[in-house]
Structure 1
Amino acid sequence: MYRGMKIPAVAALAFVLTRVSLASPGYWAHDCDGNYTVPSSYQKSLEQLSAGLPDAVSSSPDLFDKKVLGSWGSRVYGLGRCRPGTDASTCKACLDEAFQEAQVICPLRKRVYMYYEVCTLAFADEDLPSHSAVHKVATKVNGSQVPAQCSKVFDMAINELITYLVKMAAVSPHMSATGQKELAGGACTYSIYGLAECFPKMSAANCSDCLEDLLVVPFLHGHQSEWRSSLTCSYRLEPRPLFDVGKGGLATPGGKNGKKQVWIVVGCVAGALIILLVLLLLWWKLPAKRPSAIKFFDDIIANVQGKTIVMFLDYDGTLTPIVKKPERAFMSEQTRNAVRELAMAFSTSVVTGRSCEKAKGFIQLDELHYAGSHGQDIQLNDGTDPFQPNSEYLQIIAEATERLKEAVREIKGASVENNKFCVSVHYREVRREKDKDLLKNIVMRIVTEEFPNLKVTNGKKVREVRPGPKFDKGDAVKYLLQQLTNKHSWDSSRILPIYIGDDKTDEDAFKVLSEEGGFGIRVCKWRKRTAAEYSLKNPSEVKEFLEKLVRWRREQDQV
């Protein structure tokens, strides 16, 4: 039973270390915040939850349960789940242990999230989310990194495996999927095993959303072992099988060698816990969101001296506000003037999910380079032939567009847009939640069953269907940088690329820029997990930032 008592730090650390082992249930991460006092009615509600939730979860056919205990002011919301295939006794033992360790790791905390190999426990003084991946994401990385010469092919294989797992878990009756990817290339020979799973009773669309939201978190390149989990879904990558054949249980290290390493692990965990506490203290002091690119403009310019700035801009939500009807996403004349002046000062590209033709129609500026369909159609302003890495998908995208139009035509508010190498299924104007879920399920089912060479990705109130082979906004930025560097004979070591975007799809570009010596600016009003270094609140601030950048350039030219 959970007792909210204060425990001395040394005793708490000793308790944690004695409970750490290499065997199941396998604690690996936690998160906690908020405080309560003892004795209190909240404490009593929490004790009732700890006494009943493990039994309720372990006896449930889905190994999942949510409970709400206590009256207003002392109410506790609890959620517990165990991995599919876990026997009832192991499930109950894992959740019992989670409650016990919570009082040591997070004493007197109102909101606690405990992650184990076979179970997840959460309790809070507020309702727990049902399918939000960005809520309390935990990440664990083990193992050595692959050699530098193998990192590119290794990351490509990881991306392919995760994409497959997301698609299969979303349509699986058990909301889980496993897979394996083999790399055979001399020194770059690896076996990678993956697992993706969602909470029971989630819709296929919500499961897909949850897992794809996890992938927005910057990818940890080259690591052979990675585990990411939110409260409602997770994926795991390992260089060894994750399941014992025929048993449905997680494969765990064992034998004499494993037992001999326990003390080494205990020592490592002690150090890791100290580091974790320091990191948590630093995290609590972080600002609410990325620093403002306007307020920190001088800091940005300080890193520009002597470098060639290359600008990349998203369109919807960046140069123009998000609107209900995509065909009415017009850019203001003031913003058009700002972008025109920007293109005169710096090489500027628009990278958008729209087709190049639609983007040009909205922006009406010939000075720009355009990368449409999330980078699948790249057109430089010098009149050279477009670069279309997946041109063979043009016909299948057209077929998928017509099929999806037919499938969602009865859903009020839904619209389907052909963006040449991408089909955008919009649901911003769909009012009923059940209709939104229906639309997401229809898109996922049709693509999985009828167009297996395509993939589904998420945007703001939109499902986007793209060619299966990876080529995203990040790849488009790489290609443009290479072409522009060759065209203008730039010194590649003296280039500063800047990308401004507002959506999940822009995260691919943010990651690339961090590798290329540049940085991203995320357009968002609230705090978001992002690989960008700075933020702007809305398209109005984007225009202001572009105008400041142009004024600075003119001042430099005068000097």
Structure 2
Amino acid sequence: MAAARAHHAARAASLARVGRGGGAMMPVRPLLGPEGRAAIERLMRNRPLLGFDFDGTLAPIVMHPDEARISPVIARLLQQLTERLPVAVITGRQVLDVRHRLGFKPTHIIGNHGAEDEFLGPDPRVVETLKTFRRHARRLEPMLNEAGATVEDKGASIAIHYRLAPNPVLAREAIAELMNEMPPGIEAETGKRVVNILVKGAPDKGDAMARLTTHYGTDAAFYVGDDTNDEPVFQRAGSDWVTARVGPRLDHSHASYYLQEQAEMETVLQLMLEALP
């Protein structure tokens, strides 16, 4: 038993390292500092695509994910921006899950970490590839639930949550046991009290932003997010982009700027509206 627990603990430790880029620098410039404010002003003159993560970015992180909502003030500011520019919400949630939480109508919603387009639906190859793991997760779901972890099947990705687990260490060990039998073509990405099960090569948030800038005919873009699944956007950002990570001390990041906390989003949106030509 001790050997088994040691194995699971080692596996959990390896999971904690999944998705962390090596050698990346932490963003050292505050987006609401003089340099960041000037970058926003320059960017808005070029009529950019504005991209936003949802949880922890537009909406604060909450203990119960179903309670997540955008505040009326931020929703009003986003609606005003949407009337002038293309605004995209790019989230790990399903499109149908996030749409009623926004309080405004964005130009475009991308779900499942980039693998689901609100107009095109989820990537069928991704949904099909997850079938084997989906069956495996259902078999082990009682064990996961006992440890305080829950399985959320989002079609084009699967999330194993443990935010509400009484003992996060035991929850991670249970998730590690689930991960011992990963079928081919599947990978795990750790987030904030969640492990995301993704298909290798599936469209990510970086792919989504690149596709949307082409679709809406602009080389300029803004993107802000708060977790590891936002890093593909930061890594692929063009020279005409401004990127920001919410939380300067969370992890190493490729973002150009940082926000101290999610509450600063209101000020960022106000600056954007003021800087519009």
> With structure 2 as the length reference, what TM-score do the two structures score?
0.86
Q: Counterpart amino acid of 2:265?
A: V
- Residues 429 and 387 (structure 1 numbering): CA distance in 2 closer, same or farther, change over 3 Å? closer
Offset at residue 394 of structure 1 (A): 7.2
Q: Matches of residues 511-530 of structure 1 in structure 2 within 5 Å?
A: 511-513=235-237, 515=238, 517-526=240-249, 528-530=251-253
Match of 1:87 in 2: none
The counterpart of 2:30, out of the listed 274, 292, 305, is: 292
Q: Counterpart amino acid of 1:203?
A: A
Offset at residue 302 of structure 1 (A): 5.1
Offset at residue 398 of structure 1 (A): 5.0
Offset at residue 390 of structure 1 (A): 3.2
- Residues 476 and 419 (structure 1 numbering): CA distance in 2 closer, same or farther, change over 3 Å? same
- Residues 207 and 324 (structure 1 numbering): CA distance in 2 closer, same or farther, change over 3 Å? same
Q: Counterpart amino acid of 1:300?
A: A
Match of 1:426 in 2: 161
- Residues 333 and 443 (structure 1 numbering): CA distance in 2 closer, same or farther, change over 3 Å? farther
- Say yes or no: does 1:354 pair with 2:93: yes
User: Are the aligned partners of 1:422 and 1:466 in contact in 2 as well (CA < 8 Å)?
Assistant: yes
State how far apart, in whole Å, the 2-side matches of 1:517 and 1:552 are: 16
State how far apart, in whole Å, the 1-side matches of 2:174 and 2:195 are: 9
Show CA shifts across 1:420-474 (max 9, x none): 211111111223244133223123124x1xx333211111110111122242111
User: Are the aligned partners of 2:111 and 2:117 in contact in 1 as well (CA < 8 Å)?
Assistant: yes
Match of 2:17 in 1: 210
Offset at residue 330 of structure 1 (A): 2.0
State how far apart, in whole Å, the 1-side matches of 2:130 and 2:198 are: 12
CA RMSD of aligned residues (A): 2.7
Show CA shifts across 1:165-222 (max 9, x none): xxxxxxxx9xxxxxxxxxxxxxxxxxxxxxxxxxx99611212323542x2644xxxx
State how far apart, in whole Å, the 1-side matches of 2:179 and 2:70 are: 32
Q: Matches of residues 256-295 of structure 1 in structure 2 within 5 Å?
A: 290-295=28-33
User: Are the aligned partners of 1:321 and 1:538 in contact in 2 as well (CA < 8 Å)?
Assistant: no
Unaligned runs of 5+ residues in structure 2 are none
State how far apart, in whole Å, the 1-side matches of 2:134 and 2:8 are: 34
Unaligned runs of 5+ residues in structure 1 are 1-172, 174-199, 219-282, 486-491
User: Are the aligned partners of 2:130 and 2:186 in contact in 1 as well (CA < 8 Å)?
Assistant: no
Show CA shifts across 1:215-267 (max 9, x none): 2644xxxxxxxxxxxxxxxxxxxxxxxxxxxxxxxxxxxxxxxxxxxxxxxxx
Q: Counterpart amino acid of 2:128?
A: Y
Secondary structure at the counterpart of residue 345 of structure 1 = coil
Q: Counterpart amino acid of 1:500?
A: V
> With structure 1 as the length reference, what TM-score do the two structures score?
0.45
Match of 2:42 in 1: 303
Secondary structure at the counterpart of residue 363 of structure 1 = coil
- Residues 548 and 435 (structure 1 numbering): CA distance in 2 closer, same or farther, change over 3 Å? same
Match of 1:442 in 2: 177
User: Are the aligned partners of 1:520 and 1:533 in contact in 2 as well (CA < 8 Å)?
Assistant: yes
User: Are the aligned partners of 2:137 and 2:178 in contact in 1 as well (CA < 8 Å)?
Assistant: no
- Work out which of the two has the higher radius of gyration on C-alpha atoms and give 1 or 2: 1
The counterpart of 1:453, out of the listed 185, 190, 210, is: 185
- Which fold has the larger relative contact order, with Cα–Cα distance below 8 Å and residues 6 or more apart in sequence? 2
- Say yes or no: does 1:408 pair with 2:140: no
State how far apart, in whole Å, the 2-side matches of 1:545 and 1:534 are: 12
State how far apart, in whole Å, the 2-side matches of 1:552 and 1:318 are: 21
State how far apart, in whole Å, the 2-side matches of 1:551 and 1:302 are: 8
Q: Matches of residues 221-370 of structure 1 in structure 2 within 5 Å?
A: 290-296=28-34, 297-301=36-40, 303-304=42-43, 306-370=45-109
User: Are the aligned partners of 1:500 and 1:523 in contact in 2 as well (CA < 8 Å)?
Assistant: yes
- Say yes or no: does 1:507 pair with 2:225: no
State how far apart, in whole Å, the 1-side matches of 2:197 and 2:11 are: 16
Match of 1:475 in 2: 207
Greater Cα shift, 370-379 or 297-306: 297-306
- Residues 454 and 511 (structure 1 numbering): CA distance in 2 closer, same or farther, change over 3 Å? same
Secondary structure at the counterpart of residue 440 of structure 1 = helix
Q: Counterpart amino acid of 2:211?
A: Y
Offset at residue 299 of structure 1 (A): 1.9
- Residues 392 and 437 (structure 1 numbering): CA distance in 2 closer, same or farther, change over 3 Å? closer
Match of 1:119 in 2: none
State how far apart, in whole Å, the 2-side matches of 1:453 and 1:350 are: 27
- Residues 474 and 453 (structure 1 numbering): CA distance in 2 closer, same or farther, change over 3 Å? same
State how far apart, in whole Å, the 1-side matches of 2:88 and 2:163 are: 27
Offset at residue 518 of structure 1 (A): 1.0
State how far apart, in whole Å, the 1-side matches of 2:123 and 2:157 are: 12
Secondary structure at the counterpart of residue 221 of structure 2 = strand
State how far apart, in whole Å, the 2-side matches of 1:298 and 1:203 are: 44
- Residues 469 and 370 (structure 1 numbering): CA distance in 2 closer, same or farther, change over 3 Å? same
State how far apart, in whole Å, the 2-side matches of 1:433 and 1:402 are: 21
